[in-house]
Amino acid sequence: MPELPEVETAARDLAAQVIGRQIVAIEKLDWERMIETPTPAEFHALLPGRQIVAVGRRAKWLLLTLDAGWTLAIHLRMSGSVSVHPPDMPADVYTHLVLRLDDERRIFFHDTRKFGRVRLLDAAGLVLLDQRHGPEPLSETFTEEVLAALLRGRRAQLKPLLLNQAVLAGLGNIYVDESLWRARLHPLRLAASLTQREIAALYEAIRTVLTQAVQNKGSTLRDYRTGYGQSGENQHYFMVYGKTNVGQPCSRCGTAIVRLVVGQRGTHICPQCQQIYAGSTEPSGLDSPA
């Protein structure tokens, strides 16, 4: 968290506010370790004066395309958010990067836990970032056949595989749980064990869950805010994620939602709707209640 829907929301919101504007100054950078490349000194030298010509997303990276062939890539990680504020808005102690625009507004990178990362990339660096990620699940080129090819022959458990950004871009803990519930698939199923019908259900589930989340401006559990500094609304539409905290049953069958640990990640399922079928791993410590 944030995942694809939150970063997509941030990109769309920022695009409406900053395209065509020039970054005239770095007003604040009090956590230099967030800059992965280039060096902080080069970052300070190269970024001011650049014009923002486009805003987009790749996987969980927010991409501000700049002139002269540069791209400002921001990864929000666990607690980051990027938003635009008027000149008189003060930056709090958790806002670690502030960029002043030529109309005096500011872009704030707010990150409570300091896990977020920033890269200023040239064309070659952007290509490398792109190559390290799998297909985009909401793109027109991502089809049921593409998903089938990604799963074919893999003896990996479904949830860890879907979380692997090199396999499929943008999915994280929340939306994998929601997608697997919608598709009625247990997170410990082996990818290679899925039937064509189950692959079709998973494909539909991923696309539907992500589309709904984007429409609802992402999910705010704690820190995430949209590009306008507002909370997302999709957390009100979760089917399984976090439902063990409020004792809510499955909306399909009424069975109590349970929390498991899969690949060291908290995982929420309906044990009735998402049973382990033949071809999956045997129950182990990975799927014991936590």
Please give the pLDDT value at position 279.
Answer: 45
- Specify whether 127 is located in the same domain as 161: no
Answer yes or no: 60 catalytic.
yes
Q: What are phi and psi of 52, to 5 degrees?
A: -85, 115
Please give the pLDDT value at position 109.
Answer: 97
Q: What are phi and psi of 283, to 5 degrees?
A: -55, 140
Please give the pLDDT value at position 213.
Answer: 97
Answer yes or no: 233 catalytic.
no
Q: Report how many domains make up the chain.
A: 2
Which CATH number belongs to the domain containing residue 282 in this structure?
1.10.8.50
Given the residues 105, 184, 259, 265, the one annotated as active site: 265
- Specify whether 125 is located in the same domain as 28: yes
Strand pairing partners for 80? Answer: 111
Please give the pLDDT value at position 263.
Answer: 87
Please give the pLDDT value at position 92.
Answer: 95
Given the residues 50, 57, 58, 60, the one annotated as active site: 60
Answer yes or no: 114 catalytic.
no
pTM, rounded to two decimals:
0.91
Provide the token pair at 28: 């604040």
Q: Give residue 59's domain range.
A: 4-131
Strand pairing partners for 26? Answer: 99
- Specify whether 106 is located in the same domain as 31: yes
What are the C-alpha distances in Å from 70 to residues 31, 46, 52, 63, 272? 22, 9, 10, 10, 50
Residue by residue, DSSP assigns 53-104 as EEEEEETTEEEEEEGGG-EEEEE-TTTEEEEEE-TTPPP-TTEEEEEEETTS
Q: Is residue 82 part of a domain?
A: yes
| Mean pLDDT per 10-residue interval, the chain, length 290 residues | 93 97 98 97 98 98 98 94 95 97 97 96 98 98 98 95 97 97 97 96 98 95 86 93 84 94 93 76 35
- Specify whether 127 is located in the same domain as 228: no
Given the residues 3, 8, 136, 178, the one annotated as active site: 3
- Specify whether 215 is located in the same domain as 149: yes
Report angle CA 272, 278, 282 to the nearest 5 degrees.
80
Provide the token pair at 5: 């829907």
Answer yes or no: 77 catalytic.
no
Report angle CA 81, 77, 191 to the nearest 5 degrees.
130
Q: Is residue 229 part of a domain?
A: yes
- Specify whether 148 is located in the same domain as 125: no
**How many CB atoms within 10 Å of residue 264?**
9
Which of 100, 131, 162 is the last residue before a domain boundary?
A: 131
